[in-house]
Structures are given as structure tokens and as C-alpha cells.
Amino acid sequence: GAVVSQHPSWVICKSGTSVKIECRSLDFQATTMFWYRQFPKQSLMLMATSNEGSKATYEQGVEKDKFLINHASLTLSTLTVTSAHPEDSSFYICSARDLGQNGELFFGEGSRLTVL
């Protein structure tokens, strides 16, 4: 099946620094990718929809200046957590829809961010 890969899978950073997480569709093109965030024992919460070649669409309550999303190509979307703080520590997961496989949504492995 289609594969979506995230990098890094684990990152620890100091408070105030910025962290970039990559999401790649390895064997299909994705004009739209999705970024989710999961707190411990909570559901996956959609943060934003990443659109290739245009601005991302953010969900209500998500700070677009805090979570910068860039979808520069049909196989790559990046999420940058700017000026990270401990409360940004979370599990971030991306997904992409493979139209060649009946539109099935495939998820990346997730990236765990810990901000000290």
C-alpha cells in the first residue's frame, strides 16, 4: 500500500527554538495533506489542511503563526513549530490521501516533540 513517512520520529528541543517536521508521500502524489496533534490519552485533533501550492487551512483555535505549514511539492509538507514551548510537546501525525487507492487516507508514523 501507499506509504507516508514522517521525519524526525522523535525530537527534543529547548524552549524558544523552532522545530521542523517533514511529511512525505513516498509512492504517490498528494495535493492535500493533513496535520494532526495528539495529547496523551486524547483523540487525534486535526490542526490544519496543507494544500500544495497554496496556503494551509487551519482549524479553529490553531495559531497559524505558531504552526507554520508549507506544502512545496506534491510529495512533501512541512510543519514548523515556531518558538516552541513545553506546552507544544505532543505527538504530531500527518496524513495524505492516495487517490489511486480509492482515496484511502494513509498516516505517517508520527513525530513526538518534547520541548524542555
Partner 1 sequence: DQQVKQNSPSLSVQEGRISILNCDYTNSMFDYFLWYKKYPAEGPTFLISISSIKDKNEDGRFTVFLNKSAKHLSLHIVPSQPGDSAVYFCAATQGGSEKLVFGKGMKLTVNP
**Min separation Cβ 74 and partner 1, Å:** 16
Distance CA 85, CA 34 (A): 22
Binding of partner 1 by 27 (CB under 8 A):
no
Which grid coordinates are listed for 99?
A: 487517490
Count interface residues toward partner 1 (CB under 8 A): 23
Residue 41 within binding range of partner 1, rule CB under 8 A: yes
Give the binding range for partner 1 (CB under 8 A) out of 12-20, 30-38, 61-69, 72-80: 30-38
28 lies in the binding site for partner 1 (CB under 8 A): no
- Residue 107 sits at the vertex; the CA angle it makes with 105 and 111, to the nearest 5 degrees, is 160
Phi, psi of 18 (to 5 degrees): -110, 145
